[in-house]
Amino acid sequence: MESKRRRGRMVRRVLFVIGLLLSGAAGCVAATLSHRMDSSLGMLNYDKDNALEKVDISKYDTVSDNEVVNILLVGADKDENEQNVKGVSRRSDSMMIATLDMKHKKLKVTSLMRDMYLEIPGHGKNKFNSAYQNGGIKLLYETIASNFGIKLDGYAEVNFDAFVEVINKVGGIQVDVTESEAKHLNTTNYIKRKKNRNLKPGKQVLNGYQALGYSRIRHGKRVNGVTPPVYSASGKADDYGRTERQRNVIQALLTKVKSMSVDQWLDLIDVVMPNVKTDLSKDDIYSYMVAIAKLGTTKLDQYRVPADNTFTSPTINGSSVLDIDLEKNKNGLHNFIFKK
C-alpha cells in the first residue's frame, strides 16, 4: 500500500514537472507571438494628428454602442508613387464602414457611394468624395457624422500597393467574374500588366493585379460616344457594381485568410502594416483581433448607402450625382449597423 502511495506521489511529481515545462513552452510561444505582433504593428503609420476622436462632432446627433465597433475604411484612388507626384489630386476611391458587432456576433461592411450629393460641412453641397479631397479624413468623418449620425471608433486608410501585395501573399482569391467584366478587364488597362489580362467568365482565382482591376471597374470603355455598362454578378452596373465588387473581394479575402496558419497570418500582417495609415492604437487592434477571433465567423453582412429606391440621379452643375432621401438612408444605415 505504501509502495502504491509512493508511486502515486512520484507520478504526480512527474506530471507536475511536465506541466511546468509545457507551461513554460506555451509561455515562450505566447511571448514570441506577442513580440512578433508588436514588431508587425510597429510598421503601421500611426496618424494621431488626424485621430477621429479629435474631430468635434458634438453639435451633431450621433449614435454609438459599446458593443458595436465602427471603423472607417478608405482606399485611395492612386498608388504610393502616383500620390507623390506634384499637382496630382488625391481622392478617396472607396469609402466603407467596417462593423464589428459583438452584440449580434456579426461582421458587417457598408459601402458609401462617392457620388452622393450631400452637405459637406463648411463647403456646401457636393459629391461625398469631395469631403476627403477638401479636408482629408477629418472632414470625411464630419460629413458622415453630420449626414448619417454615426459616431466612428477609428479609421484605416489603405493604398493600392497593399491591396495587390496582400492578394498575392494569400495566393489569390476566388471570384465569380461575369462575361462583361472579363471582356472589359481583358481589353483595357484596368489590370496593370498585360500578361494578367486573361480572365474568363465564371469562378476563378484572381491575383493581386487582377483583383485590383476587378474592384475598380465602374463602366465600360467608351466607343463612338457610347459607354457600355459592365454588369456585376448580381446584375449591377456603374458605381453600384463597383462597390459590390469591392465588398465581394473583401469577403473572398476573409474566406481565404480563415484557412491560414498563425505563421501565415503574421507574414500577411507584415505585408499589410507598412501600407496602412490609422489612428487605432496597438491595444485597439489587439482587442479587435481577439474579438473577431471569438466571433468564429468570416461571413460578411453587406449593405450599401444609398439603398435601392431611396435616391434619384439628376445632373447638377454638369455632373451626375445621387440625390438621396437622407432620412430613409440614415434610418436604414442605423438599422443595419446597430439592430441586425
* pLDDT given for residue 288 in this prediction: 86
Beta strands in 39-120 (DSSP E): 45-46, 68-76, 92-101, 106-112, 117-120
Residue 236 CB: number of other CB atoms within 10 A? 18
What nine digits make up the cell of 327? 432620412
Closest CA to 62 of 73, 74, 75, 52: 52
pTM summary value: 0.81
- Provide the residue type at 192 as one letter: K
* pLDDT given for residue 24 in this prediction: 43
What nine digits make up the cell of 41? 504593428
Quick: pLDDT tens for 138-171: 999 999 999 999 999 999 998 877 788 889 999 9
How far from 125 is each of 115, 118, 317, 321, CA to CA, in Å? 12, 5, 11, 11
Say whether the peptide bond before residue 306 is cis (omega within 30 degrees of 0).
yes
Intervals of the chain under pLDDT 70:
1-41, 76-93, 221-225
* pLDDT given for residue 278 in this prediction: 92
Which residue stretches of 149-233 are H helix? 160-169, 179-187, 208-216
* pLDDT given for residue 290 in this prediction: 81
* pLDDT given for residue 36 in this prediction: 63
What nine digits make up the cell of 149? 449620425
What nine digits make up the cell of 310? 431611396
* pLDDT given for residue 258 in this prediction: 80
Residue 66 CB: number of other CB atoms within 10 A? 7
